[in-house]
Amino acid sequence: MNANWAKENLKTIRSLMEQARVYRRAMAPLALLVGTMGVVAAGVAQALGCVGPEYFAGYWLGVAVVSALSALLLIRRQALKSDEEFWSPPTRRVAQAMLPMLAAGLALGLFELLEETGARNSARLAAFWLILYGGALHAAGFFMRRGIKLLGWIYVVFGSFILFFSRIEPLSFINENTAHWLMGFGFGAINLAYGVYLKLTLEPLEIE
């Protein structure tokens, strides 16, 4: 009986270790892709002078669509490369968990576009998007590794910081002129840092 118990425990431990390796292999390139797109999009917006409430919502909704399509293509490519099902039950569960928060973010962006330009607030919208994205990641974390839940909380805290301190005048770095960089840091730099962390924690055999 003790031998069977030990054997089952060993099997469970090996299964969990394999899940961790698969998680890192899958998530590292995805986080790096989305992070790079976030940083580049912020830089392009600033370089082109697309600064202000008249540009912000529409621009980042477009970036979100391109990022989502790119992520889906990358996930599909990884699934084909590993000879796995693309729209597998685990993938469906993660997508269903994230969908409500992401849909709310889309609705907020569309609502902002319907507002008069003078009533728009790019920093506030960025804060809500970051909070909702964090909520989506946290929900996905119930079906993935717990690191995703922590990442979700980082987004929630960062978005809440922007939302709260954007009302304080001395914090001049939170305004319409820096809204793109707030998005670039949030959706870009944080994702990049997470992707780099996952890459660095991959074992040599996992990279091959």
Torsion angle (degrees, nearest 10) of CA 101, 106, 108, 112:
170
The pLDDT-based confidence of 22 (bands split at 50, 70, 90) is very low
pLDDT at 12: 43
DSSP state of 84: -
Q: Which residue has the tokens 């909702």?
A: 132
Q: What does the angle CA 70 – CA 72 – CA 77 come to, to the nearest 5 degrees?
A: 95
**CB proximity list for 74: less than 8 A, separation 6 or greater:** 29, 30, 33
pLDDT at 206: 43
Q: How far apart are CA 38 and CA 70, in angstroms?
A: 12
